[in-house]
Amino acid sequence: MPNRDVAKEGAAGKAAPVEVREAAGSSAAESPATGPIDGMQPGNGWSLLASELSVLFRRRRTWAMLLALAAVPVLMAVAVRASSSVPPGRGPAFLDRITQNGLFVGVTALLVCVPLFLPLTVGVVAGDTIAGEAGLGTLRYLLVAPAGRVRLLLVKYAGAAVFCIVGPLVVALAGAGIGSALFPVGPVTLLSGDVIAPGEALVRLVLVAAYLTVSLLGLSAVGMFLSTLTDVPVGAMAATIVASVVSQVLGELPQLEWLHPWLFTHYWFGFADLLRQPVAWDSFGSNALLQAGYIAVFGALAYGRFVTKDILS
């Protein structure tokens, strides 16, 4: 079973990570599975996190996803540059502003990525957290200490959270970069009609990326829980992405209005509130609270499932 999955994943990308894992886990490997809870030295957690991050960001898959995300603003900017002017009110919001100001490429690209691309990549990363290790047969090596399960769960979630930071940031910065290369950069018009300097606009762009990071944390928790349910990583990834799509579809149905404030996708488009003058922080706060609730609920579910699970692979 592990052999099959290794073969499927591609041995070239996989061989090194497995070695890194075993090296990192070896310090905790001394205590047997039934031994005392002594694997909680802070150093272990941090080294495990470092190893998790290096595995995550040395994967070709991760790089491919980040490149695909970065391609969105590039394609958009090139297409707008190559075509004639966009009439206002057509296409995604802000698209007509790109020609006036390159920094809008970042915002427009984030807007386009929010419904599908970002949840897709986060779903792949979050769905892979536990199920990926189980599928590869490396999970039991990581879980030699009893307390290791909680720590592994936390480390895995932290890894997914780091990807949530990197993903939107890549889109925003790639957008700002290609935009300033192809279009003039100048004062930026906010939704309120007020104009701010390019430096402040860059701050707002990073704030928008941070908003989307927070928005995706709840989905990561859902993905990690789904990942503890199965040994087939593809299943958990697909289920996570389906969850985000289903949540967005439910959010569009006016008949379910009572449910909307409870959907984790409810505030996803609220990042526009950061582009108002003065900044409307309400949606940022509500979004953070909602995502914290999802993290708590699905984190607790993942804990319940993972610490009671029989790890056979």
Partner 1 sequence: MTRKWLRWMPAVAVPAVIAAAALAGSLPASAGDPLPAKTPAEVLAMVAQHSAPSLSGTLEQTSQIGLPELPKTGPSSGGGAASALELLSGPHTARVFLDGTSNMRIQVLDRLAERNAVKSGDQVWLYSSRDNTAAHLTLPAGAGHARDFSDCRHPAAGADGVMPTPEALAARLLAVADPTTEVSVGPEINIAGRAAYNLMVTPRTEGTLIGSAAIAVDGQSGLPLSVELKARGQEEPAFKLAFTSLSLEAPDASLFAFTPPPGATVKEIEVPAHGTGSWPGHGTEKGVVPDSRDPNGGLPRPEVTGTGWETVVEFPAGPASAEAGAMASGDPLIQQAAVAVPGGRLFSTAVVNVLFTDDGRVFAGSVPAERLLTAAAAR
Q: Where on the chain is the footprint of partner 1 (CB under 8 A)?
A: 88-90, 93-94, 96-97, 100, 111, 186-187, 189, 191-195, 254, 269, 272-273, 276-278, 280, 282, 293, 296-297, 300-301, 303-304, 307-308
- Of 61 and 309, nearer to partner 1 (C-beta) is 309
- Of 42 and 89, nearer to partner 1 (C-beta) is 89
Nearest approach, Cβ of residue 297 and partner 1 (Å): 5
Cβ proximity of 118 and 72 under 8 Å: no
Nearest approach, Cβ of residue 239 and partner 1 (Å): 18
117-136 and 148-182 helices cross at what angle (nearest 10)?
150
- Of 141 and 269, nearer to partner 1 (C-beta) is 269
- Of 13 and 187, nearer to partner 1 (C-beta) is 187
- Of 24 and 171, nearer to partner 1 (C-beta) is 171
Nearest approach, Cβ of residue 144 and partner 1 (Å): 19
Nearest approach, Cβ of residue 94 and partner 1 (Å): 8
Nearest approach, Cβ of residue 269 and partner 1 (Å): 6
Query: What is the distance in angstroms between the CA of the first residue and the CA of the last residue of the chain?
Result: 9
- Of 13 and 115, nearer to partner 1 (C-beta) is 115
Nearest approach, Cβ of residue 76 and partner 1 (Å): 16
Nearest approach, Cβ of residue 275 and partner 1 (Å): 9
- Of 5 and 273, nearer to partner 1 (C-beta) is 273
